[in-house]
Amino acid sequence: MVQSKAATVEEYLGELPDDRRDAVAEVREVILANLPEGYDEGMAWGMITYSVPLSRSGATYNGKPLGYVALASQKNYLSLYLTCVDGGREQEFRAEFEAAGHKLDMGRSCVRFKRVADLPLDVIGREVARYPVDEFLALATAARSTR
């Protein structure tokens, strides 16, 4: 799929072929069930995003809300972006993923998968639930100050 221009999550899901729509919807349910209060669901960069609203974070370097999790249908796979894994948690996340009996295909904070069965949804849910907004903002601020 070419990067979506959908303005809403419903519009985005409506663009997807049935098999991908079902997979994205199932992972989205896990995200929504575990997402700490205060994050907003929306569309950005052609994918479903879960981010800290600017009213909470203040201005960002690019004027966009601070991304926490994102979900997208790419050309050859589906992707789940977990910025909470980036910066120190990657090895622990890899170990949890593989201990659950799944092979991890991951780039920098991007988990690539073809089917929902490729994901340990309980591990994904725990990772999404890991950081309340204020804690995630503190981590993001600390990371920016070291650059």
pLDDT in tens, 124-144: 999 999 999 999 999 888 877
Nearest to 114 by CA among 78, 75, 74: 78
Cα→Cα distances 116→12, 18, 23, 113, Å: 18, 14, 6, 7
Show the domains of the chain with their CATH numbers. 9-136 (3.90.1150.200)
Q: Residue 91 pLDDT more than 70? A: yes
- For 86, the 3-state DSSP assignment is coil
Nearest to 44 by CA among 85, 2, 5: 5
- For 75, the 3-state DSSP assignment is coil
Confidence of residue 4 (pLDDT cuts 50, 70, 90): confident
- For a pLDDT cut of 90, what percent of the chain falls above it? 73
pLDDT in tens, 8-24: 999 999 999 999 999 99
The two tokens of residue 40 are 């907003």
Confidence of residue 43 (pLDDT cuts 50, 70, 90): very high
Q: Residue 145 pLDDT more than 70? A: no
Looking at residue 2, its pLDDT comes to: 59
Nearest to 126 by CA among 74, 89, 78: 89
